[in-house]
Amino acid sequence: MKSLLLLIVLLYTSGSVQAQEKKVEFSTFQLSDTVYMLKGQGGNVGISAGEDGLYIIDDQVRPVTAQLLQALRKISDKPIRFVINTHYHADHTGGNETIGKAGAVIIAHDNNRKRMSTEQVSNFTKQTTPPYAKAALPVVTFNDQLSLHLNGETATAYYVANGHTDGDVIIHFPVSNVIHMGDMYFNTIYPYVDLDAGGSIQGMVRAANLALALANDTTRIIPGHGPLAVTEDLRAYRDFLVKAIGNVQVLIGEGKNLEQIIAARPTAEWDEEMGKAWITPAQFVTFIYSSLKGIHRYTLPISAPG
């Protein structure tokens, strides 16, 4: 959870990321003969390592790239052939430039390349992110789904429109029975919905439903942030999202505005457990309200808490 508090500072600007270099402890979890999860500083990394080489899902924040590569070498000494970015945020793409220059092919949804190629403005963080360096940009993009046929199985990346951003993908390893959710799943904490980048709470639910349709009772779920999960955890998370949305929808139906809805505490039953790590209850309610009202810009009422 401490890493998430730092994450809000690092999330968008590469300049800020460079200034925050620090020693990070990496933890590796082997999920099958070929698939691993790596936790460090930033989004959780998925790894496929086998006879065909090494490819990874996301590559954390920029200043830990050297340490990330060292952690990957403990799994395989083969070069990284591909990087799949689940979305464009800097805590998931910070290693792109270094790893891309070393020869890896970077893959992402079409919208990720568009956002990474242009200046991005966030009303939530009150920061502007300049375009990424050329070597950090995805060179292979897709608009629906894409499959990699390596290391004994076909892993498929599925696009889910307007979830955490407008360019998120989840990746399914059917043989290994693993799903990487990226930031469509924040395990044990309130999720961040990037309204300014086309995100919506409805898309977060669609992503959870897709993953649950692909999963069975023994599937391991890699969240964008938080501990490794199982299908039961993801199902509980989906149900929580649906109930929270319903609570806010009822208050909208009563004619209440955003400030009044925040004051009514429609997420009170989860606030103690999920609302103290990064995203506050007021911010989470704002994500839901704005999504339901079709507002594509983050604005928290001045007098609202958090």
pLDDT of the residue at 2: 43
The pLDDT tens digits of the residues spanning 90-125 come to 999 999 999 999 999 999 999 999 999 999 999 999
Q: Which amino acid is at 263?
A: A
Tokens 């065909």 map to which residue?
Answer: 52
Residue 51, helix vs strand vs coil:
coil
Q: Which residues of 78-105 are buried (b: 16+ CB within 10 A; e: fewer)?
A: eebbbbbbbbbbbbbbbbbbbbbeeebe
Q: Is the pLDDT of residue 3 over 60?
A: no
pLDDT of the residue at 21: 59
Structure confidence at residue 306 as a pLDDT band (50, 70, 90): low
Calculate mean pLDDT across residues 47-54: 97
Q: Which residues of 168-204 are buried (b: 16+ CB within 10 A; e: fewer)?
A: bbbbbbeebbbbbbbbbbbbebbbbbbbbbbbbbbbb
Residues 303 and 32: their CA atoms lie apart, in Å, by 50
pLDDT mean across residues, the chain: 93
The pLDDT tens digits of the residues spanning 210-230 come to 999 999 999 999 999 999 999
Q: Is the pLDDT of residue 17 over 80?
A: no
pLDDT of the residue at 301: 86
Second-level CATH architecture of 2-242: 4-Layer Sandwich (3.60)
Q: Is the pLDDT of residue 144 over 90?
A: yes
Cβ–Cβ contacts within 10 Å for residue 76, how many? 16
The pTM score is: 0.93
Q: Is the pLDDT of residue 19 over 70?
A: no
The ranges assigned to domains in the chain are 2-242
Q: Is the pLDDT of residue 14 over 70?
A: no
Tokens of 271: 């606030």
The pLDDT tens digits of the residues spanning 61-96 come to 999 999 999 999 999 999 999 999 999 999 999 999
